Amino acid sequence: MTEIFEILKYVLPSLVVFVTAYYLLRLFLENEQKKRAVEIKLAGYKIITPIRLQAYERIVLFLERISPESLIMRLHQPGLTALQFQTMLILAIREEIEHNLSQQVYVSSNAWEMVKNAKEDMIKLINTAATKLNDNASSTDLSQKIFELSVGEKSICKPVLEFIKNEIRLLF
């Protein structure tokens, strides 16, 4: 019986030390794994944050470029008929959105939906202005009609721009 106590006298402290070491080592390794996961996540944020910010910048630029004032001033060519100018304006808007389609990956679904709606509303405004003109109207007549309609309505791009700015402020 004394032999068992002698063995236990050496084995029990060894077991306690082993269990404690095992527990502490397991805790340490779990903490290190969590730290690594956080570091990887932060590294990902360092990469994705500038890309997301650039996407928002490109969306703002898109909205500015399709605003009636910018679009007409940039594309107006004297001598075009209203129909030719209407086609040119709509084509420019569609090209602009095609260049920015990939930005939807980096912005919220609500923001992208508002951008798409702004594009459609702008096309609708151009088409509405064109239907209010006679067949032999010039590009200048169409420009004037677009300006008249855009002044009479609420701004198409301004609410979307405000939404985008607010979203950027919340995210960054």
Q: Give CA 34 to chain center in angstroms.
A: 29
Q: In this predicted structure, what is the pLDDT of residue 59?
A: 96
Please give the model's pTM, rounded to 2 decimal places: 0.76
Residue-wise pLDDT for 138-163, tens only, equals: 999 999 999 999 886 678 889 999 99
Q: In the chain, what are the domain boundaries?
A: 51-171
